[in-house]
Structure 1
Amino acid sequence: MTSAFKQLEERTSFCSGGKGLMSQVSETRAQPEQLPGGGSRSAVADKVDALFGGLGDRGRVMVRQLPLSVTVLLVVAAAAVFHPETLADSRFRLALLAHTALFVLSVAVPWGRLPARTWVLIPALDCLAIGFTREAGGPSFSVLSLLLVFPVVWLSVDRNRAGVVLAVAATVLSTVLPAAALGTPPTQGSMIRTIFLPLVMAAIAVTAHVVAGTLYRQRETLVRQDEALADTTAESVRRQQLLDAVLSTVNVGVWVVDSQGRDILTNRALQTDAALSGLAPSASQPRLFEADRTTPVPPARFPTARAAAGETFTDALYWASEGDAGKSKAGEGEDMRAYSVTARTMSSTDGNHAGAVITFAEVTALIRALSAKDNFVATVSHELRTPLTSILGYLELVLDEPGHEDIEDELKIVQRNATHLLGLVNDLIAVASERVELNLQEADVAGLLASVVSSARTHASGSGVELVLDVEEPLTARVDPGRIRQVFGNLVSNAIKFSPDGGRVIARAHRVNSHVVCSIADSGIGMDGPEQEQAFTKFFRSARSRETAIPGAGLGLPISKTIVEGHGGSISLRSEPGKGTTVTVNLPVS
């Protein structure tokens, strides 16, 4: 991207005659010049002056006078060859002296110190000098009237319309005044010249003024476009510098690719990360692994390949190895590092896929901390389960023995709470290990759901919730009945708990091809988008549930997810704040 800006600056430098576009525009703004004799100049005039090499006011007047002076010099040379007697005429020599004096004045006079537009005297006097030269030369030199084009055009191209009027007036005087001063008798030719020459020069003056005005406006438009381009380029450079500063500061690796997966931009964090050097799909030995740390990622599933294909994903977990790929395939070695990878696609101005931005955030320490936490929870849970099992065992013995009738109710309360605590401990163990032991057998899933709904009716009635069962019986599948009953119990219990104002909970089950689909829908408080994303996270509880003191440990959905996925199925959640939640369980028949 930086090279693109450099190329743009080089191109603008070439178009600006060796100067950068921004430098040229800034010079134009910083150095306003004055017209000869004073007065401000426009940016267009500055551009025109640049063509003359920056000669200043005096130089500009000289350059504009130079074509006429050179032409007069050529006329003198031609007269010396073909009409030498004309050069002997004192009147003709005086006229040539006037041309010479006007050229000397254009060079010698400090026009910048005089009042504005004083320089118009030079082309006006040129017209008179041309008229005297033509009259002094006689009929052979009548063609010199064409030299009026030089001063007429000079006066007319000025942005002030008074220049056109002055050009026509000077033309008229160039035909009348010399004849009167030199005493030339009027002839038919001179009368025709007196009438038609000013008309022709007036037409030339108007045409030159209109063309010049059009060119001025076009130049002003180009200058404004140049200034806008310079501002845009400066802003782009500033944004590029800001982007470079941000990308070089963040610790997250950033990789930008086009729609073909080719590199556009990488930041320093990505370039200096040894583990990420093996991410290119062309690597001979892939060093990128799935979340299990043992399965190599195929080239088509590399983050860059997925992003280049237009796929968007968030927090995809990859493991990368700094060392030899063969040693890391077994998932061993401390050189493996975990990365949370996120990709977002980019679109061109016409809406087509133009590439993607991929970020790599190292989460190795977080993954290891979570693993240590799960191990700790599993260890503590195991340590808690042993005394709880013993407590429940002895409680059963005590309840079976006679003589404790007076405290039997209290003992049953202890037994119920100990059983509940043991269930929580078992859930913690299952969640921490992320797997459960399953005893698969043929069972009626519809019957399991019906029994859970029947057991929960008392709870639902006490909460003012209408519990509705809608199932197709039987729905046989190979499942662990106890675990599936636990899943349905968690979901129905959640639906009732999160409907504190009453409402309806509908439990459905039906067959779809080779799967049994069960759903629990409530009309309770619901969840927003961010809460839905965290719903299956361990120990997560929504803000509303905390505010309303709804009991729970945040383990129901995570343990249900673990059980369902252990059966090879899937569980999903759809919710809307204030309109309820629907949890769907998809279980394979076999």
Structure 2
Amino acid sequence: MAFLGIQRNFHELTLRRRVALSQLPLFVAVLVSVPIVFMNKPSAFADPAFLAGLGLITVLTVLSAALPWEKYFQPAYWVIPILDFAVIALLYRAVQPDVTGMLLLTVFPVFWLAWSGFAPRTASVLTIFGSLLIIWSPLLGTQPSPQEFARSALVPVIMLLVHKSATVMTQDASGQQRALEAKDRELKQSLQDSRRRAQLLDAVLDTIDVGVIVLGKDGHVMLMNHRQFATHELALPEGPGPWSEADMFLFEPDGATPMASDQRPLARARRREAFSDSLLWVGSGAQKRALIVSARPMADETGAFNGSVVAFGDVTETMLALRAKDDFVASVSHELRTPLTSIIGYLDLALADAEEMNSDSLQAALGVALRNAERLLVLVADLLTTASGSVHLELAELSLRELVSCAADSAAPRAAESGIKIELQAPADVVGSFDAMRMQQVLDNLISNAIKYSPGGGTVTLRVLRGKTAAILEVQDEGIGMTAADQSEVFNRFFRSAAVKKAAIPGVGLGLGITRDIVEAHGGSITLTSQPGQGTTFRVELPLESCSVRASTAG
């Protein structure tokens, strides 16, 4: 319909325009037939039937375009194709047999009734009677024989078949059109929903206090929210660029060491790595910020890699607060250690004088004060170790069995007071490169915990074993044990389980965290197995390397 200047599809037009366009082909065909009739049968222009047909087709065409068919009952416009049969009958009566092609105009109202899709049986009946009216119109007013009526009966049959064929095609096209319209509505709804979800996602991403980058499967940045854009700008060098991640100011957790290009977050995400809580610093100078970065790869419906999501959380204030806390703990611990050392020294002198005076009550009182002062000094030392954040080793060739034996002897009085027997199992000596003071601290912490968390008494077993490449130390008790949830957090600083708190067992939760740091500084590992009510076994594995190699690593 573009040649008529109409850019819309036929079914999208108003009913009035569809009726007018359906009538137009017949009107044009009649106009074309006028000069043909004039050349072949000029006398037809004097025939009232021919003139009536021309007048009626003109009126019907005007009415088809002028009347508001939408306001009438549904098949009201059928009056046009029904009267078109009468128009064609009048014209055919006037021009036959000289212009036989006039009979072919019957297909126009037949097609019209077919495409309407309304009351197909009624439309079929109208097709038959309309066709009979046209083909028999020349016989009206005469006395035709039955043979003359029968001779033209083939035309209505053909028109009926044409009508049926057009009806089938129309119904099929209508069904396809309805299906297309339904799909079009679904697509529009899906598009609208997608736009709404995209707007919602954009609003959420720009509202949250977390930077987000979405990488496509080819590694390019598909999305970056406002929060991350600000952080991104902070990390870029000065100048017009263009810049890549390798050019950004990204530093290791110490805040000073530049991060290697292949270890930067987007580079790892492009390698399809999944990681969590990776600490780094971005920016330079006073604007430097600390970020916790996590990444997860995405997969499509077939399981193939489809990009990654990288999240950046700003933890600058938390890191500064932790640094301030560590500085405070270190400062206070240093201030406390000097007077405590002095107090312990004077208590030793006072205890010696009490022994010379043979005053048992004074000795007992001074002994309690001395033990508590020493305990407080150990706590201060633990706080200093925690605040320093690192463990420095002075390695030397030592016997692990001797270290364990000394630790057992030191813990024997406390074990005896608690009704606990300490048993040492060391069938063969193990010699390696260890820091004597730090390993003594490890043994004291493990044995002290074994005694402390065995309120019902029992046996604490110390084992020294030699593996293929490692020295193995085990401390086993028969105490209260731990749940699986407690075991996952037992090495966290300041952690104390609910059972320990309920039993009012003293402690601050630093010992095991410090023990792990010392063991890892030796290049080893520490693990545990435990069951509630059945005790706990800590297992320490220390690699048996040469002193020179270990000293360079520990430094």
TM-score bucket (shorter structure): 0.7 to 0.9
Matched with 2:150 is 191
Confirm or deny that 1:247 pairs with 2:209.
no
Confirm or deny that 1:236 pairs with 2:194.
yes
Distance (whole Å) between structure 1 residues aligned to residue 28 and residue 279 of structure 2: 83
Matched with 2:289 is 337
State the shift of 1:516 in Å. Answer: 3.7
Distance (whole Å) between structure 1 residues aligned to residue 126 and residue 534 of structure 2: 86
Residues 500/218 of structure 1: CA separation in 2 closer, same or farther (3 Å cut): farther
Matched with 1:311 is 273
State the shift of 1:555 in Å. Answer: 0.2
Aligned partner of residue 540 in structure 1, secondary structure: coil
Please tell me whether the aligned partners of residues 90 and 137 of structure 2 are also in contact (alpha carbons under 8 angstroms): yes
Distance (whole Å) between structure 2 residues aligned to residue 248 and residue 470 of structure 1: 62
Distance (whole Å) between structure 2 residues aligned to residue 399 and residue 494 of structure 1: 28
Please tell me whether the aligned partners of residues 498 and 525 of structure 1 are also in contact (alpha carbons under 8 angstroms): no
Quick one: which of 226, 246, 255 aligns to 1:268? 226
| Aligned counterparts, 1:276-291, within 5 A | 276-277=235-236, 282=244, 287-291=249-253
Quick one: which of 369, 372, 376 aligns to 2:324? 372
Matched with 2:57 is 99
Residues 105/296 of structure 1: CA separation in 2 closer, same or farther (3 Å cut): closer
| Aligned counterparts, 1:155-170, within 5 A | 155-162=113-120, 163-170=122-129
Residue 316 of structure 1 aligns with an amino acid whose one-letter code is S
Aligned partner of residue 236 in structure 2, secondary structure: helix
| Aligned counterparts, 1:418-437, within 5 A | 418-437=373-392
The Cα offsets for residues 172-209 of structure 1, whole Å up to 9 and x where unpaired, read as: 54257625534262474651432x32322222222222
Please tell me whether the aligned partners of residues 128 and 159 of structure 2 are also in contact (alpha carbons under 8 angstroms): no
Distance (whole Å) between structure 1 residues aligned to residue 416 and residue 176 of structure 2: 84
Matched with 1:78 is 36
Distance (whole Å) between structure 1 residues aligned to residue 531 and residue 31 of structure 2: 94
| Aligned counterparts, 1:507-522, within 5 A | 514-516=469-471
The Cα offsets for residues 259-279 of structure 1, whole Å up to 9 and x where unpaired, read as: 443221222223233432259
Please tell me whether the aligned partners of residues 131 and 159 of structure 2 are also in contact (alpha carbons under 8 angstroms): no
How big is the alpha-carbon RMSD for the aligned residues of Structure 1 and Structure 2?
A: 3.9
Confirm or deny that 1:588 pairs with 2:547.
no
Residues 135/190 of structure 1: CA separation in 2 closer, same or farther (3 Å cut): farther
Residues 262/110 of structure 1: CA separation in 2 closer, same or farther (3 Å cut): closer
Gaps of 5+ in 1: 1-18, 20-45, 323-332
Residues 389/69 of structure 1: CA separation in 2 closer, same or farther (3 Å cut): same
State the shift of 1:487 in Å. Answer: 2.2
Please tell me whether the aligned partners of residues 321 and 336 of structure 1 are also in contact (alpha carbons under 8 angstroms): yes
Confirm or deny that 1:563 pairs with 2:521.
no
The Cα offsets for residues 229-273 of structure 1, whole Å up to 9 and x where unpaired, read as: 222222222222223223333343322223443221222223233
The Cα offsets for residues 517-559 of structure 1, whole Å up to 9 and x where unpaired, read as: 556688833243xx66654443233455445544320102221
Please tell me whether the aligned partners of residues 382 and 514 of structure 2 are also in contact (alpha carbons under 8 angstroms): yes
Distance (whole Å) between structure 1 residues aligned to residue 219 and residue 400 of structure 2: 47
State the shift of 1:371 in Å. Answer: 1.6
Please tell me whether the aligned partners of residues 37 and 95 of structure 2 are also in contact (alpha carbons under 8 angstroms): no
Q: Which moved more, 1:420-429 or 1:350-359?
A: 350-359
Aligned partner of residue 139 in structure 1, secondary structure: coil
Distance (whole Å) between structure 1 residues aligned to residue 420 and residue 80 of structure 2: 104
Please, what TM-score do these two structures have when normalized by structure 2? 0.81
Matched with 2:506 is 551
Distance (whole Å) between structure 2 residues aligned to residue 49 and residue 567 of structure 1: 83
Aligned partner of residue 152 in structure 2, secondary structure: helix
Residue 271 of structure 2 aligns with an amino acid whose one-letter code is A
Please tell me whether the aligned partners of residues 135 and 155 of structure 2 are also in contact (alpha carbons under 8 angstroms): no
| Aligned counterparts, 1:463-482, within 5 A | 473-482=428-437
The Cα offsets for residues 395-416 of structure 1, whole Å up to 9 and x where unpaired, read as: 3333334114422233322222
Please tell me whether the aligned partners of residues 526 and 579 of structure 1 are also in contact (alpha carbons under 8 angstroms): no
Residues 49/466 of structure 1: CA separation in 2 closer, same or farther (3 Å cut): farther
Residues 459/399 of structure 1: CA separation in 2 closer, same or farther (3 Å cut): closer
Distance (whole Å) between structure 1 residues aligned to residue 461 and residue 89 of structure 2: 110
Aligned partner of residue 157 in structure 1, secondary structure: helix
Quick one: which of 313, 327, 340 aligns to 1:361? 313
Q: Which moved more, 1:511-520 or 1:267-276?
A: 511-520
Matched with 2:344 is 392
Please tell me whether the aligned partners of residues 260 and 355 of structure 1 are also in contact (alpha carbons under 8 angstroms): yes
Quick one: which of 490, 494, 497 aligns to 1:539? 494
Distance (whole Å) between structure 1 residues aligned to residue 328 and residue 26 of structure 2: 101
Please tell me whether the aligned partners of residues 254 and 266 of structure 1 are also in contact (alpha carbons under 8 angstroms): yes
Distance (whole Å) between structure 1 residues aligned to residue 159 and residue 454 of structure 2: 97
Aligned partner of residue 361 in structure 1, secondary structure: strand
The Cα offsets for residues 114-152 of structure 1, whole Å up to 9 and x where unpaired, read as: 333111121122223323433332234444333222111
Residues 179/295 of structure 1: CA separation in 2 closer, same or farther (3 Å cut): same
Residues 462/188 of structure 1: CA separation in 2 closer, same or farther (3 Å cut): farther
Aligned partner of residue 35 in structure 2, secondary structure: helix
Residues 92/320 of structure 1: CA separation in 2 closer, same or farther (3 Å cut): closer
Please tell me whether the aligned partners of residues 465 and 504 of structure 1 are also in contact (alpha carbons under 8 angstroms): yes
Please tell me whether the aligned partners of residues 495 and 505 of structure 1 are also in contact (alpha carbons under 8 angstroms): yes
Residues 504/527 of structure 1: CA separation in 2 closer, same or farther (3 Å cut): farther
Distance (whole Å) between structure 1 residues aligned to residue 145 and residue 400 of structure 2: 127
Residues 515/141 of structure 1: CA separation in 2 closer, same or farther (3 Å cut): farther
Please tell me whether the aligned partners of residues 460 and 467 of structure 1 are also in contact (alpha carbons under 8 angstroms): yes
State the shift of 1:417 in Å. Answer: 2.1
The Cα offsets for residues 452-483 of structure 1, whole Å up to 9 and x where unpaired, read as: 67987998999999999887744432112342
Please tell me whether the aligned partners of residues 282 and 290 of structure 2 are also in contact (alpha carbons under 8 angstroms): yes
Residues 555/144 of structure 1: CA separation in 2 closer, same or farther (3 Å cut): same
Confirm or deny that 1:406 pairs with 2:364.
no
Aligned partner of residue 116 in structure 2, secondary structure: coil
Matched with 2:261 is 299
Aligned partner of residue 272 in structure 1, secondary structure: helix
State the shift of 1:494 in Å. Answer: 4.5
Distance (whole Å) between structure 2 residues aligned to residue 106 and residue 581 of structure 1: 97
Residues 537/278 of structure 1: CA separation in 2 closer, same or farther (3 Å cut): farther
Matched with 1:37 is none
Structure label with greater radius of gyration: 2
Please, what TM-score do these two structures have when normalized by structure 1? 0.77
Distance (whole Å) between structure 1 residues aligned to residue 148 and residue 528 of structure 2: 105
Aligned partner of residue 554 in structure 1, secondary structure: coil
- Percent identity at matched positions? 38
Matched with 2:18 is 60
Please tell me whether the aligned partners of residues 132 and 156 of structure 2 are also in contact (alpha carbons under 8 angstroms): no
Q: Which moved more, 1:90-99 or 1:199-208?
A: 90-99
Matched with 2:551 is none
Distance (whole Å) between structure 2 residues aligned to residue 577 and residue 566 of structure 1: 30
Matched with 1:116 is 74
The Cα offsets for residues 12-61 of structure 1, whole Å up to 9 and x where unpaired, read as: xxxxxxx9xxxxxxxxxxxxxxxxxxxxxxxxxx96443x4xxx443321
The Cα offsets for residues 342-364 of structure 1, whole Å up to 9 and x where unpaired, read as: 22322223222222222333333
Residue 525 of structure 1 aligns with an amino acid whose one-letter code is M
Distance (whole Å) between structure 2 residues aligned to residue 144 and residue 576 of structure 1: 104
Distance (whole Å) between structure 2 residues aligned to residue 173 and residue 294 of structure 1: 101
Residue 297 of structure 1 aligns with an amino acid whose one-letter code is M
